[in-house]
Structure 1
Amino acid sequence: MRPSHPPMGWNSWDCFGTTVTEHELLANAEVMAARLLPSGWNTIVCDIQWYEPAAKAGGYNDNADLHLDSYGRPLPVPQRFPSATTINGTPTGFTHIAHSIHAKGLAFGVHLMRGIPRQAVTNNLPIAHSSHYAGDVADTTSTCPWNTDNYGVNPEHPGAQDWYDALIDQLASWGIDFLKIDDMLAPYHASEIELVHRAIARAEHRHNRTITLSLSPGTRVSLTRRDHLAAHATMWRISDDLWDRWEDITAQIDRLALWAPHQTPGAWADADMLPLGRIGVRAERGQPRNSALTITEQRTLMSAWTLAQSPLMMGGDLATSSDVTFELLTNSAVLEHYRQGIAAHCILAEGKTRVWLTPAHAPTRHVAVMNLDDTARTHIIDLDDIAAPHTTSATDVWTGRHYAVTTDTATHPYRHIAVTVPAHGVAHLALTSSH
């Protein structure tokens, strides 16, 4: 059975880049369990290069010497993940960390690059449970433009499925619940997506667990791919990496407007991580900082992501983020709508104004007026225009402000609600109806 609403969790990328440690993963899990789990946040994801001994902030090492097992599969670097040991010749990998996170009522995920490590290909390592070798299945012409860890695989070679089966089976044996695979969508690698999908299904059956699949990055991914993505993944990115810049947020709001009508349970377009709280600690971009977005802009972001039913993956370090950030992440009115799994649609995009509306069958209807301009604007919400004629009042989910329905026969001779929206802000209203 597919989940009714998108995944909600934390990802290490925005704050720790390629260098996150076991201590930092578990510290964020501790805070999530204590402060966010009651609101539905339940997944901890270790992002890229947990297998790179010399990983650094601010970029990647070309042709890095990766920590692999004898079959070419990545292993956590013991210097950063000391619980990743070997018992009777078998690497324990993330087993201890996964167990610790599961004990808190949370799920655990990791990041992988598409394909097979170049190092395994150079050494022509055998593929576990297969008669094939890494050199047999690699496509050395299929490379990632921004990371040199892996080659793609030749999907026509029978050993390619063996590779993904062995790779994902090992992750499942460690207790992995969530898998983010990068370099899948730009360009679009349909055949490798299908190989991964089959490997996950086999691992789920063998280990009696469910694994969520996330694909990225979403550079220029179009709606023509939607059905294929929905059939093979749980979530997929719709842009490059998003950071704490207002121009990133406005562009993403319009991308979400395109994808929101196509969100369905278990298959969600992903607007990327939330660059909120304490980010950039050892990240790919920028210095250690609190999010450069203002609280007004952060509310607009949260309204857009939740109304459009984007997955919510917190990017800031939970252990050092402020109470203001947690207030954003635990707003009960916002999350109550989100957990209903009903996407709003953008019904008006005019100039710098965007108006979002939940459908009539939503238990509580929401309308949000987003002002992308640099100055405050007043907007009139015509209740007949949004098919909400029985609305008696409205409450802003962020400020708690109560709005009455009015009729001004001189200027607006119809039932309406007038909202003044600050620059870069949102008036996100929950409507109260007499019916």
Structure 2
Amino acid sequence: MIKNIFTMLLLAGGCLAVSAQEIQLNKGWKFAVGDSAQWASPTFNDKNWQNIDVNHNWERQGHPSYDGFGWYRIHVTIPSSLKEKSFLKDSVRLSLASVDDNDEVYLNGKLIAKYGGNGGTIKDGHYGPRTYNIAANDPSILWDKENVLAIRIFDTGGDGGIYGEKFTLAMADVMDNVQVNTDSDFSFEENNSLAKAVKLQTVNKYQYEGQLAFKVTDPETGAVIYEKTNPARFTAGKPFTYSFTIARLAKKSYTIAYTFHDGKSGKDIVKTETTPYILTPYPSAKPKINGPDVYGARPGNPFLYLIPATGKKPLAYKAAGLPEGLKLDPATGIITGSVSQAGDYKVTLTVTNSLGTKSKEFTISIGDKIGLTPALGWNSWNAWGLSVNEEKVKISAQAMADKLSAYGWNFVNIDDGWEAENRAADGAIVSNSKFPDMKRLTDFVHGLGLHTGIYSSPGPRTCGGFLGSWQHEDQDAKTYADWGFDYLKYDWCSYSEVTPANPDLAALKKPYEVMRASLNKVNRDIMYSFCQYGWGDVWKWGAETGGNSWRTTGDIEDTWRSMSDIGFRQDAASPYAGPGHFNDPDMLVVGKVGWGPSLHNTRLSFDEQYTHISLWSLLSAPLLIGCDMGHLDRFTLSLLTNDEVLAIDQDALGKGAMPQVKKDGYQIWVKELKDGSKAIGIFNVSDKYQTIDLDKNGDVLKGFTKYRDVWQQKFIVSTGKTFTAKVAPHGVLLVKLEK
């Protein structure tokens, strides 16, 4: 997500690269907001349109907060040599990276494709990548002449446009529907070895017969660790499976390249992936209490807190100094009740098992602030999208209770797609058939000691086209409270339809103020998460408007470009983080994701996933898992259960990290912690291994003498005047500095 370029065509608006296989469409686009049928015409003069970079959405290129129609146009010569040199000659393939949210595609004025092949209308949100095939004999294609490709986009909310890394025109290829499926999990074997099975598969009826080459490379040294070539045959319904074991690997990532060469066509398909390595130590069998040092609730409202603790089961729990109105279940560690009197209550939590006892000082803060540390939990969107249902939520809740709650994870949040088509006769919001009984579901989640969340929009419709809360805010807040929800994600979406075209600051605040007032009327603590993509520098006013967190960015994707672009651009927002109000750079993209219903392994490498969790923790960001909780592989589980990493995110001071060093090849972000120590992330943002040296008397390290590798939970021995870090490409060394 490299081609041998043999010629360059200079086109209107930019340069376009052409290879024997495909035409690169990443440059040369023109853009205009609005909508007109004449913009599809090849004779329309777009000379004065805006030049636009399709690597990025239109919001970042002069159109902040814009939702609605926009058009993209590009002039391109399609050489007949493209067809002549292809193995298959029947159709042309157009790839458009990601469309946000829906599209119509015109070639020389003719509508050739729309909506990603789905039904509905252009205003039905259908975010995602697009690939369209056009018959090679279609008269709309002008071979060896200039063609005009025009794309009509409708954005329902959030980021808009066509953007990403791969925009191409090519002949349909014999390898188009061939996949090297690497979505099976690596299994961790004895002696640091890894085992896995991959599949060559297709929906084509063509009989593929050739060779599968398998090569493992050490990216640090370039050395080939292992390689082998195997005969391979497959066709539709009959995949080829290759199983392997790589023995005695060091604790780092290696690169695996799978190359299938088809003997008849001479075509190749290549897929690469990296190998996982686990840094988080196994938890001790002795008892340990994890989670934050403070928890906030409002006077008189229902209280629920599960003491997060690890150790050999069974565990017995005690809590000395609980305020009047609270009680502890000593077998489950769940504290429930209600506290009427405001104040900070110092509580001693104790956990005991057959191997010992552990205590921790804990503050229960009863007052007007909740969410004193960033939310730790799961949200359904990045896994299931609109296909979420009650069963998937219950599976996620049970998995959190069984595998993650002992580390402080406690929110199970339903995103878009739960709403019925119409409200009840009295105007009340109603859940659809996928969620037959919301109160029963929240009772189930609460019975596990966990909290649960729900989603809506201040507009008439949500991003997915379901009912929003427009003009029903009081009713909806009461319904959410009656159902028992503890968290509300409030997504701008169609609110653009009922607000001025270019909303000022007051207009940006208004829908969130309205729902804040409605939430204040219910007798339940509901964490309030703004989702309005960082417009109007929301971090400057989100707290005063009553938000517990606010999105600072558009939607994240599971790519290095997306994750790093978002994560390393939080400088402006970071100083505004604090107890009860945090910046949200969007949900996590580790594990199996897909935006429903089909899932795949995240496209982030394993080093990039360490960077993702480290950076979000340094930023004091909400950590909302977006993967299939029913399938947590060992590596993903190790990412989510490192108590020392999570402690950085959950630090009671609540400060966001700031960049101390920003260079082309690496960055260093520093976070102050409540106990006077610091956490630093040394990030290698280059594509090669780097050795990064820090002066111990420099701004970052001065005054500190102990350096703790947080992921490996061990101190680093460092002599001399320089601290040296060897960091993998796109990787991180996360260090806690102590005096």
SS of residue in 2 equivalent to 1:348? strand
Q: How far apart are residue 418 of structure 1 and its match?
A: 0.8
Worse-matched range after superposition: 393-402 or 322-331: 393-402
The residue aligned with 2:105 is: none
CA contact (8 A) 2:616 2:649 kept: no
Look at both structures and tell me which one has the larger radius of gyration over its CA atoms.
2
Normalised TM-score (structure 2) = 0.46
Name which of 432, 444, 448 aligns with 1:77. 432
Describe the shift of the 1:352–1:73 C-alpha distance in structure 2 as closer, same or farther (beyond 3 A).
Answer: farther
Q: How far apart are residue 114 of structure 1 and its match?
A: 1.7
Q: How far apart are residue 331 of structure 1 and its match?
A: 0.7
Describe the shift of the 1:147–1:44 C-alpha distance in structure 2 as closer, same or farther (beyond 3 A).
Answer: closer
Matched, 1:425 2:731: yes
Structure showing the higher strand proportion among its residues? 2
Name which of 180, 197, 201 aligns with 2:489. 180
Could you say which structure has the greater relative contact order, defined with CA pairs below 8 angstroms and 6 or more residues apart?
1
Q: How far apart are residue 350 of structure 1 and its match?
A: 1.5
The residue aligned with 1:277 is: 591
Q: How far apart are residue 356 of structure 1 and its match?
A: 1.0
Worse-matched range after superposition: 30-39 or 255-264: 255-264
1: CA distance, partners of 2:401 / 2:591 = 17
CA contact (8 A) 2:658 2:669 kept: yes
Unmatched segments (≥5 aa) in structure 1: 53-65, 85-93, 118-143, 154-159, 408-414
CA contact (8 A) 2:542 2:549 kept: no
Q: Which amino acid aligns with 2:488?
A: L
Name which of 635, 641, 646 aligns with 1:335. 646
2: CA distance, partners of 1:224 / 1:27 = 34
CA contact (8 A) 2:684 2:731 kept: yes
2: CA distance, partners of 1:368 / 1:168 = 40
1: CA distance, partners of 2:532 / 2:599 = 24
Matched, 1:356 2:710: no
Worse-matched range after superposition: 167-176 or 221-230: 221-230
The residue aligned with 2:458 is: 114
1: CA distance, partners of 2:675 / 2:394 = 37
CA displacement, residues 281-300 of structure 1 (integer Å, 9 cap, x when unaligned): 725xxx42111111110010
Describe the shift of the 1:149–1:364 C-alpha distance in structure 2 as closer, same or farther (beyond 3 A).
Answer: same
Q: How far apart are residue 364 of structure 1 and its match?
A: 3.3
1: CA distance, partners of 2:581 / 2:465 = 30
Name which of 474, 477, 494 aligns with 1:165. 474
Name which of 632, 635, 640 aligns with 1:324. 635
Q: Which amino acid aligns with 2:659?
A: C
Describe the shift of the 1:152–1:337 C-alpha distance in structure 2 as closer, same or farther (beyond 3 A).
Answer: closer
Normalised TM-score (structure 1) = 0.77
The residue aligned with 1:216 is: 531
1: CA distance, partners of 2:595 / 2:537 = 35
CA displacement, residues 202-242 of structure 1 (integer Å, 9 cap, x when unaligned): 01xxxx32001111141x52436522454321111111111
The residue aligned with 1:56 is: none
> Taking every aligned residue pair, what percent have the same amino acid on both sides?
25
For 1:143-292, what aligned pairs fall within 5 Å after superposition? 147-149=464-466, 153=470, 160=471, 163-183=472-492, 189-203=508-522, 208-218=523-533, 220-223=534-537, 226-280=540-594, 282-283=596-597, 287-292=598-603
Describe the shift of the 1:164–1:96 C-alpha distance in structure 2 as closer, same or farther (beyond 3 A).
Answer: same
For 1:33-44, what aligned pairs fall within 5 Å after superposition? 33-44=401-412
2: CA distance, partners of 1:68 / 1:209 = 23
For 1:78-97, what aligned pairs fall within 5 Å after superposition? 78=433, 80-82=434-436, 84=437, 94-97=438-441
For 1:393-408, what aligned pairs fall within 5 Å after superposition? 393-400=706-713, 402-407=715-720
1: CA distance, partners of 2:445 / 2:673 = 39
CA contact (8 A) 2:583 2:621 kept: yes
Q: Which amino acid aligns with 1:317?
A: D
CA displacement, residues 99-146 of structure 1 (integer Å, 9 cap, x when unaligned): 1100100111111122346xxxxxxxxxxxxxxxxxxxxxxxxxx7x5
Describe the shift of the 1:189–1:15 C-alpha distance in structure 2 as closer, same or farther (beyond 3 A).
Answer: same
Worse-matched range after superposition: 66-75 or 13-22: 66-75
Matched, 1:299 2:299: no
2: CA distance, partners of 1:171 / 1:281 = 24
How many residues are aligned here? 359
The residue aligned with 1:369 is: 682
Worse-matched range after superposition: 319-328 or 339-348: 339-348
2: CA distance, partners of 1:342 / 1:229 = 14
SS of residue in 2 equivalent to 1:391? coil
2: CA distance, partners of 1:212 / 1:202 = 14
Describe the shift of the 1:211–1:361 C-alpha distance in structure 2 as closer, same or farther (beyond 3 A).
Answer: closer
What's the RMSD between the two structures over aligned residues? 2.3
2: CA distance, partners of 1:297 / 1:362 = 29
SS of residue in 2 equivalent to 1:190? helix
Describe the shift of the 1:348–1:288 C-alpha distance in structure 2 as closer, same or farther (beyond 3 A).
Answer: same
Describe the shift of the 1:116–1:253 C-alpha distance in structure 2 as closer, same or farther (beyond 3 A).
Answer: closer
Describe the shift of the 1:222–1:175 C-alpha distance in structure 2 as closer, same or farther (beyond 3 A).
Answer: same
SS of residue in 2 equivalent to 1:247? helix
The residue aligned with 2:393 is: 25
Q: Which amino acid aligns with 1:213?
A: Y
SS of residue in 2 equivalent to 1:110? strand
Q: Which amino acid aligns with 1:81?
A: F
Structure showing the higher helix proportion among its residues? 1
2: CA distance, partners of 1:19 / 1:305 = 27
CA contact (8 A) 2:614 2:734 kept: yes
